[in-house]
Structure 1
Amino acid sequence: MQSPMSIGSSAGRFPHNVQDETILEPSTNEELKELWKVVNGWRVSASEGRTFCLKMVSHAEEPIHVLSSSTQPFYTLKIIPTSTSGQLTLTRQDPSKTPTSASSSPKIRAPFLNAVTTKDKDKEKDTEVLSTTLEEYVRRLPPNDGLVALLYPRSASTMALNVASNPTRGDALSIIAAAERECARLVFDSDSSKYYLVHPALNHPFVVSISSSPAWSRVEYTLEHPELPRNVVKLTRDGAGMGWLEVDTSVAAKIDAHYVVDVAVTAVMLVCVEDEKSRNVERFDAPPPSLPPTSPRFSLPPLGSPRGKSKKDKKRERGGDQEYQDGGIRDGFRKSGKP
């Protein structure tokens, strides 16, 4: 396997006109049923593959990031800080099993609310697809190897562990080799200040290209590879904590790995989180909707309004006004010399 630097600096450049592509609308649950098959190991042909779009929402106070359809979560990435670094977990939710929580509204914050406030009977629908311990930051600095995280899909690691517990199987070695072929390494190269995803199924590593557009408050994270016709994953983030992640399954089908989509999505999202952390990007929740005006039938009368006064007060005011008017008239007569 070649060094990440062997692919040259051209792989880090953003492809021509990629910034001008139109952002897709989030895929529906019905459409994501096809993506669900792919991420579970089903291989599609180039003609069957397509691009899926997931909406990304990040919590303002907790390290939780949700990729959702137009109505419910699909991926949920959680990073739990530890004393040295952090523990990353990626889960998936089957789009054919709609959550029964009351928060399954397609509003902006609904995907996050679904993922966080899910009831116990909904939690069993979440499938943990990848879990790893993030390396300490010092490992990215020379003379260390730059490892950020080891991305081992849960399905592949479970398969290897099951075979290891039964070494008498004749195909044990081939199964373990196939499982290890799914494990990738996310590394940081301090010389180029770039992140690389080293995958055993490819001769050269991916490079995570970061392209920012200050005028539009937008940053794009693209997983590029010189041997692939298009990008497998691209994440676009805006300044409001929202984003869109695009997955091309026709390109993923060209890679000899069953769970490469889970690995690619995890790598790009992790680079996004690390990049925003280094740039001190702050996230804020949207303000709550303003309360509707109170019905006029039950609204309090304004200060000084006759409606809020008793009949006695009204009569007293009318009497005072009359006295004031009579007094003013009498004063006017005195000044004019009239009796």
Structure 2
Amino acid sequence: LTFMWSQSLMSMWHAQNYGSCPESGSRVGLSYPGAPESVAKQNELAQGGAEASMMWECRQVLDTSGETCKMVLNPRVCQELEVDDVEQCIDLVAVFPSLLLLMEVMPKCEKGPSTDFAGCMIRESHSPVMPGFFDTINRTWPGKPITAELLNNYSDKVSHATGYPSFTQAELNQACKARVSLLSIASQVLSTPLDQMQSMLEKAKQEQAEGKELDPFFEKCNHIVYLYGCDHEANEYTIWTWGGRVKLPREMITGPSNMTVKRDVPGPWNWGSVCSAITADKITFGTEADMQVDCIGGERTCSGNECCPASVATGNKALPCPSADPGWNGCVETPPWLVA
């Protein structure tokens, strides 16, 4: 079920970008032993869309009101995108469309007039997301001509900014405080024995003390996981992934606070394993109409943090809606399901 759910979400993400469901681009199949090379390559290319698809999924599945879904990045990665304003930087990352779609359409437009490149991309893609994508680029870099070179450069910069681990204690704290947190992580940290990682960390500390440049132990972020729990005092952070839980110390998530590593491009890269997070502070599951539940007594429906009217069934007392947030009670009486 986990794989069916994941593949369906990925297919929906690509279909949203394409504006339809073409066999060539939006359908994400399961990889399996003996699969033809063409199928395996297609599935590999179609594996989600990093932070942009995570934001989309948050708004589609977790908080469909779209009010609390947020992207958490190390602000210093925005320097890689040449953007000073963090919110503008996050917007730029969040609107990045399906790479499959860009790869299909760009060859059709990059040989044409550079002044019409953006217009060509919008026309040829037939994508409902492409106009907003180019509008965001225009607002971020006003006056810069949108060309194939700019788009390729932008794609590389987003890949670096969100692909290399740079999460710090500050970003981890934000993720831990949220009701739901999804982390973009280097899967290597989930499959390598902890004692081996600890040994490599001690080696890195020794090399740092000797004044050497440090190579990263974890590669690029390539996996999305659920942050199940944070125990700061015990230095234990629980990750839910692949149908099980993995407990990691902070050093394996953010790396030591004073330890940076060298990559192929300059940036705030550290020895940790996490690149970003998508968080939500409430779970709404569907539209407001979908969330309507019956008040006690069934005389009317309600949704979330609101009061149901007094009725015979409630002993003539106004009570919170059964779907109200745990602990919320803006009504006169405490309902029976909130009584300890």
TM range (shorter): under 0.3
Compare the two structures and name the one with the higher strand fraction.
Answer: 1
User: Higher Cα Rg: structure 1 or 2?
Assistant: 1
Task: Give the TM-score of the pair, scaled to structure 2.
Answer: 0.25
Which has a greater percent of helix? 2
TM (norm. structure 1) is 0.25
